[in-house]
Structure 1
Amino acid sequence: MGAMLVAFSVAPSVSGDDGSVTDAVADAVRIVRESGLPNHTDAMFTTIEGDWDECMDVVRRCVEAVAVHGPRVSLVLKADVRPGRTGELTAKIERLESRL
């Protein structure tokens, strides 16, 4: 399978005393950044770019890291599979901005 963008959100089912899942999310984002894959994190999702195996390995490791924080993990994932394309993490935004 070729290049893809994967946007995902992962969080434990149980939050801290203040309702925050920041520590768990930070553990996941650390894995993403250490993966070396192009990535972007915003308030709702983290997006990574790579091939199928690379992306799914990072997602799996993030889920495992978050699972340490609670007995259940929520994962939301959306993928844009574009064989033969690279650099789409920024190129898609650049194409949009050029039309605005």
Structure 2
Amino acid sequence: MRILLDENLPDSLVEALQALGHPADSINRLRLKGIDNGAMYRQAALDYDLCFTRDAGFVQSVRHMPQSSGLKLLRVIIPQQAAKPFVAAFVQAFRDAEWSRYRNGDDWP
């Protein structure tokens, strides 16, 4: 799965997801910090399968939009904590996830 991380998630997640064998990028690494949510969603829909964010407003704005691509935008609800334990919790949840049960705009995990 090709994965994009919003700017509100730690960049260290990129390496963790790549170590699991997934092409992963972040808004920060792509130098798109501050990009409008709509523009980000349109770009992600072209190039990615999953996009993770912590931004509830962003997710709410796309939750009921017709899905024109295979992109799933998911809001990460793992509690905020230091980067290292957050990444560990994210990776464990990612490994255990049944992706077919998630729809665009769902909370994850």
Structure 1 or 2: larger strand share? 1
In the superposition, the TM-score normalised over structure 2's length comes to 0.25
Structure with bigger gyration radius: 1
Ranked by relative contact order (alpha carbons within 8 Å, sequence separation 6 or more), the top structure is: 1
In the superposition, the TM-score normalised over structure 1's length comes to 0.27
